[in-house]
Amino acid sequence: MSYRIIELFSEGLYASSNKAIQELVANSFDAGAQQVQVLLSANLHDQNSTIVVIDDGEGMDNPGLKRHWLIGISDKRELSKLPRGRQQIGKFGIGKLATHVLSERLTHITKQNGKYFSTSMDYSAIDRRVSKEIEPKSPIKIPLRELTQHEAQQAVAAWTGTPAFKDSGMSLFGKEAPVSWTVAIMSSLKPKVHEIKPGFLEWVLRTALPLRPDFNIWLNGSKLVSSKQGKGLLKRWLLGKEIIELPKPAPKATTASQDTTVDTASEYRFGFNVPTIGRVTGYAEAYKDLLTGKSDELGRSYGFFVYVFGRLVNVVDGHFGISPDELRHGTFGLFGR
């Protein structure tokens, strides 16, 4: 693909640097990871600064790394067995382009089936003279190396040896090491990374991703907890169970339904059958306190938190372009349409 196409995809989809990092962590979730480490250099202005995402997901072997770099192609929807039974949100094979927003180089060091592999993509090597053509005049060949365990240890030592990584109790080598893992290293960082604010990035990761017992995120050595914890949950209503009727402007033919093939304890057992859309599951929650931090109270005092597959889709704009001063009953009615 031409450099222009990559620019349009990456910068259009990941205008926010925080969103780009969230996408990488989401990839770890899709890979069945239980532990994810996000490590940022203390000073992102330094020439040698890096952003690193480490997870204990399924990892990639030789064929897997080749598939990874097929832009616009993803086999996630074709998997016969989903990693840890998780719903996969990645579909189009363009998530890796989030790294192009942040860096000129992306290096993967990964383990699968007892073998270690490494690839390194240099975005700056792409022919930038191509403006309209889809096919580049000079294709990029990404080197693939198989490493020994010693070489793999040396390659990741700069990050696994940090106090922040050790604080998580995670280990990539030895008896306690996971059977598979991936280290994604972004280097030669772009000016876009200077927009990253650790506090807001933490909020994005805590809020936008499904933190649960089998999925934990560490940011620079601190374990993140769901933004909902400690906010005073007042009540929770499941669609199709506690909420069985929808007022206007919902379509008249919308009906509550129950999928008896789903476990009774699952929130996906109940839902609505909506004309032209299909089955919709979900819930509504009311909290005593704001889900955002104090610094966000004026900007996000009220808003819509819309999740798809457990992930917040409107991280940056909680009002969907609607002014907070205009969030009245009429606005909610229009949003429902």
pLDDT in tens, 212-235: 778 899 999 999 887 666 567 788
Domains of the chain: 3-223 (3.30.565.10), 233-336 (no CATH)
pLDDT in tens, 134-178: 566 667 788 899 999 999 999 999 999 999 999 888 999 999 899
What is the average pLDDT across 4-26? 74
Q: How far apart are CA 97 and CA 77, in angstroms?
A: 19
For the residues of 76-141, what is the DSSP string, one character each?
Answer: GGG-SS-GGGPPP---SS-GGGHHHHHEEEEEEEEEETTEEEEEEEEGGGS-TT-SS-SS-SSPPP
Q: Which two tokens stand for residue 42?
A: 């203390």
Q: How far apart are CA 315 and CA 312, in angstroms?
A: 6
pLDDT at 259 > cutoff 90 = yes
pLDDT in tens, 108-127: 999 999 999 999 988 887 76
Judge whether 197 and 16 are in contact, CB under 8 Å.
no
pLDDT at 189 > cutoff 90 = yes
116 contact partners, CB below 8 Å, separation of at least 6: 109, 110, 146, 147, 148, 149, 151, 152
For the residues of 231-293, what is the DSSP string, one character each?
Answer: S-EEEEEEBTTTB----TTS-TT-EEEE-TTS-TT-TTSEEEEETTTEEE--EEEEESS-SS-
What is the average pLDDT across 320-325? 66
